[in-house]
Structures are given as structure tokens and as C-alpha cells.
Amino acid sequence: MSKTVVIIGAGASGMMAAHFAAQNGARVILLEKNKKVCRKVMITGKGRCNVTNNSSPDNLISKTPTNGRFLYSAVNSFTPADTMDFFESAGVALKTERGNRVFPSSDKASDIVDALLRTVKRDGCKILNEKQAKSLIIADNRVCGVYLTDGTEIKGDSVIVACGGASYPKTGSNGDGYMLAKQAGHTIKEIKPSLVPLECKGNTCARLQGLSLKNVNLSVHFKNGKKPVFSEQGEMLFTHFGISGPLVLSASSHMKKGEVSDYTITVDLKPALDIDTLDKRLVRDFDEFCNKDFANSLGKLLPSKLIPVIIERSKIAPTEKCNSITKQQRTALATLIKGFEVVPNRFRPIDEAIITSGGVNTKEINPKTMESKLIGGLYFAGEVIDVDAYTGGYNLQIAFSTGALAGQNSVLDDF
Ligand SMILES: Cc1cc2nc3c(=O)[nH]c(=O)nc-3n(C[C@H](O)[C@H](O)[C@H](O)COP(=O)(O)OP(=O)(O)OC[C@H]3O[C@@H](n4cnc5c(N)ncnc54)[C@H](O)[C@@H]3O)c2cc1C
């Protein structure tokens, strides 16, 4: 008789787990608290879904700062190339963009979700929508089913917890997975937001609200250490509370030690020009505007919103004539432009984080199978586990790889 595998959560990892369990002969029941499956996947990549990263398993591990090595078996048994094959075979044309980021050619996350849904339906998996798991049924150190919030009991030979993390709770992933894991005796590593905007001190960011900077270099230092913990070129945005945008989200995942206020952030507004070249450029601009006020001389170099802030910080009087600016003042100005400081205060709340850092302790999960080391027949997949990666399609790949491995093994498991 075929085994029954109950999967809690029809998101990225749960859907992939369902496919693999069904392909290995299981009767699969997918429980999803929402009316529709994969609500979070629908909003990934700003609705375009960066579905994986077209690179090696080793690269994925290196882009996963928290417990990357734990993923070795999972990402080698279902690789980024396998994810691409999976979706292409399911009829979704894909394209690879900058940084090996893979998207559906249509730029529609819904194509990814539709492909997952078609696949699990074709596999014969039973999806129970608007069914929320409340607790696990455990007897003799083995899981044998799930109780739903409506009181129903769903029996199963194995249960896969694929409830996601705690970020963007409106999508359904509101931390239930941690509650279920705790019930089974698992420890949960502290939950923190990752890939999240930053609130900053002072009113500079609010003054610059709406300003988007492209091709700037953002560096983060811990307690004024010499070597930056993060330094990359890209795009960022000023908001009423602080800073956001791709560079800032990536930077936030490198700021896990201590407090956010232990870090300093500097933005090189002109990374293509070294300080001498920038100085020469300033000389040229000041020559051109020699009889004009300093306040009117930076329009060719900087976005207009930034100019009053730079002028204030430069300590050069806005009415000073360009031809009277000294070399010393110019050097200070160039240094300021190449190291514009913003002072981070705290992360935005977890609701606004792309990913949850922390989760089910990886030491308590068998990395070769995704099975709990504490309770037989209990598996974990996706963001509920204490792993989190940078942006670039890595987090969905982690969900697919751990889902595939848990799905396969939930059927093979003998008891
Ligand atoms: C705005 C945003 C953009 C993102 N963009 C990208 C991107 O482009 N590329 C990338 O790689 N990653 C991206 N991510 C991260 C990615 O979405 C997640 O890493 C991934 O969805 C995690 O998959 P999962 O299966 O673990 O959880 P989820 O996809 O969150 O699925 C969990 C499911 O479980 C259900 N559930 C929860 N509790 C219960 C319960 N008690 N009973 C029944 N069902 C339950 C939820 O409703 C949900 O459907 C993004 C995240 C956000 C928030």
C-alpha cells in the first residue's frame, strides 16, 4: 500500500516536495491555509519571480551565509540546472539576466505558480485549501498526522513542515512552522529579518525621500573595522524612514552580528572616479562656474535632491564663489562625495523582510534527507529551516532543493 505524505504549506518548497513524493509513489495531501497556493511566490522578484540562479551548487552554498554547508546534499540532488529543466519541461520559457538571475521569459511569477500547480495536479496530489495545520500528532516518537484548526484530523505516514518563515505574514507564512517544530521538541534559532530595508538616524534620508541612486557603491563596516563586511555597486533608494533598494537589502544580510547601530554605512556616489579624477572633475566644474555661487556648481555632478545635503555637509558656504574654493575644501568635498555617510539605526520590521533569518536548528535535521533527528517521519523544507541566502534566486532554489529532498525521502523512509 502506498504511503500517505502530508505536506503543511503549498508554497515553493511544499509544492516541490509534493511533486517528488508523488513521483516516488506516495499519496500526497497538501494543506494550505490560504484560498490559493503560492501567494508569496506570486510576489517574488516584484512579480517577475527570480526563480533560481543559473550557477553551480557550490556557488549557491557560498551565497548562503547562514548554514550554507547544511544544504550540500539538497542542492546537489536538486540543482539550479534541475530547477530550470523542471520549469522548462513544464512549459515555462526562462531567461537569464545580470548576475545569473533566472526569470520566466514572460516576466510573470504567475507562470511559475501555474506550472507548479499543473504539475502537482497531474501527479494526483490532493490540495486542501483553507486548511490550517494547528498541531502535529505524535506517538512513540513518530509523527502520524496533523490536527487542523477546524478540529479535523489528517492521518499520514510522514509529515513535511513547509510553512515558510515569518516575513510578509499576509502571504500566509506567519511563523506557524516554528510553532509546529517546537511542539516536536525542536529548538528555533532566533528569528530576525534579513534582506530588509534599514531605518536610519537623523533627517537626511527623509529629506532625500524618493531619490533613487544607480551605480553607487555601498560599504558597510562593523564597529569601524578596517575591512568592510559588505561592499558592492548597484542601486539604492532613500525613503521616509531610511534606505532601501537592492543594495541595501543585500547589505542587511551581512549585518547579523551585534546591533544594527554597530555598523557604519558609506555610499560612494562616484565609484567610477578615483579621488584624484574626481578632484580634476571638480576643478573643471568650478572653472566653468568660476564666478557663480558654489550652491549652483554641482548640478552636472550630482542629482539635484542631493545637492543641498552635500553643500551642508561640505561646510563650504553656499554663496562662496567657485573661484575662491581652496584645494583643501575641494579635497574634503571629494572625500564627502566618495564616502557619503548614513547612520543605520535598526532593521525595518520582519513583516517587510524578504526573508527570515533563523528557524529550525539545522543540527536537529538530517541534511541528507531533511528528516527530523528527533521525531521519525517528520521532515522540514524551505524557509522554516535556519538557512537564508542573499538575493539572486538563491532562496527559492533552497526551497525547491530542500522540498525535493524531503519529498523523496518522506516516501523512502522505512519504519
Ligand atoms: C517580496 C518578496 C520577494 C521575494 N523575491 C524572491 C525572488 O525573486 N527570488 C527568490 O529566490 N526568493 C525570493 N523571495 C523569498 C522566497 O519567496 C522564499 O524564500 C520562498 O517562498 C520560501 O518558500 P517556502 O516554501 O519555505 O515558504 P512559502 O513560499 O512562504 O510557503 C509557505 C506556505 O505555507 C502556508 N502555511 C503556513 N502556515 C500554515 C499552516 N499552519 N497550515 C497550512 N498552511 C500553512 C503559507 O500560507 C504558504 O503558502 C522573496 C520574498 C519576498 C517576501
Distance CA 17, CA 32 (A): 14
* Ligand 1 nearest-atom number relative to CA 382: 26
Domain boundary among 324, 347, 370: 347
| Contact criterion met (CB below 8 Å) for 156 and 133 | no
pLDDT per position as a tens digit, 361-399: 999 999 999 999 999 999 999 999 999 999 999 999 999
Residues 157 and 59 in one domain: yes
| Residue 201: other Cβ atoms inside 10 A | 13
| Contact criterion met (CB below 8 Å) for 333 and 189 | no
CATH of residue 280's domain is: 1.10.8
Residues 242 and 286 in one domain: no
Q: What is the pTM of this model?
A: 0.92
Give a yes or no: residue 84 inside a domain. yes
Domain boundary among 347, 366, 381: 347
User: Distance from the CA of 311 to the center of ligand 1, in angstroms?
Assistant: 44
Residues 188 and 202 in one domain: no
CA 256 to chain centre: 14
CATH of residue 92's domain is: 3.50.50.60
Residues 168 and 75 in one domain: yes
User: Distance from the CA of 305 to the center of ligand 1, in angstroms?
Assistant: 37
Give a yes or no: residue 40 inside a domain. yes
Residues 228 and 248 in one domain: yes
pLDDT per position as a tens digit, 92-101: 999 999 999 9
pLDDT per position as a tens digit, 289-347: 888 999 999 999 999 999 999 999 999 999 999 999 999 999 999 999 999 999 999 99
Q: Report the pLDDT averaged over residues 16-27.
A: 97
pLDDT at position 413: 59
User: Distance from the CA of 255 to the center of ligand 1, in angstroms?
Assistant: 22
* Ligand 1 nearest-atom number relative to CA 399: 23
Residues 164 and 48 in one domain: yes
Residues 98 and 68 in one domain: yes
Nearest Cα to Cα of residue 380 among 28, 17, 135, 15: 17
| Residue 184: other Cβ atoms inside 10 A | 20
What domain range is 237 assigned to? 198-269+341-347
Give a yes or no: residue 138 inside a domain. yes
Q: Report the pLDDT averaged over residues 347-352.
A: 95
| Contact criterion met (CB below 8 Å) for 11 and 40 | yes
pLDDT per position as a tens digit, 186-245: 999 999 999 999 999 999 999 999 999 999 999 999 987 899 999 999 999 999 999 999
| Contact criterion met (CB below 8 Å) for 402 and 382 | yes
* Ligand 1 nearest-atom number relative to CA 12: 25
With bands split at pLDDT 50, 70 and 90, how would you rate the model's confidence at 414? low
Residues 26 and 88 in one domain: yes
CATH of residue 217's domain is: 2.40.30.10
Residues 102 and 135 in one domain: yes
Number of structural domains the chain divides into: 3
Domain boundary among 325, 347, 369: 347
* Exposure b/e, 205-223, CB count within 10 A at least 16 = b: beebeebebeebbbbbbbe
pLDDT per position as a tens digit, 61-88: 999 988 999 999 999 999 999 999 999 9
Pocket test for ligand 1, best of 173, 178, 195, 352 (most atoms within 8 A of CB): 173
Q: Where are the alpha helices (DSSP H) in 208-270?
A: 246-252
Give a yes or no: residue 156 inside a domain. yes
User: Distance from the CA of 10 to the center of ligand 1, in angstroms?
Assistant: 9
Give a yes or no: residue 94 inside a domain. yes
Give a yes or no: residue 390 inside a domain. yes
Residue ranges lining ligand 1, Cβ < 6 Å: 8-14, 31-34, 39-41, 43-45, 49-50, 132-133, 162-164, 167-168, 171-173, 176, 354-355, 382-383, 393-396, 399
Residues 241 and 316 in one domain: no
Residue 56's Cβ-count burial label (10 Å; 0-12, 13-18, 19+) is: middle
Residues 187 and 142 in one domain: yes
Give a yes or no: residue 352 inside a domain. no
Residues 52 and 172 in one domain: yes
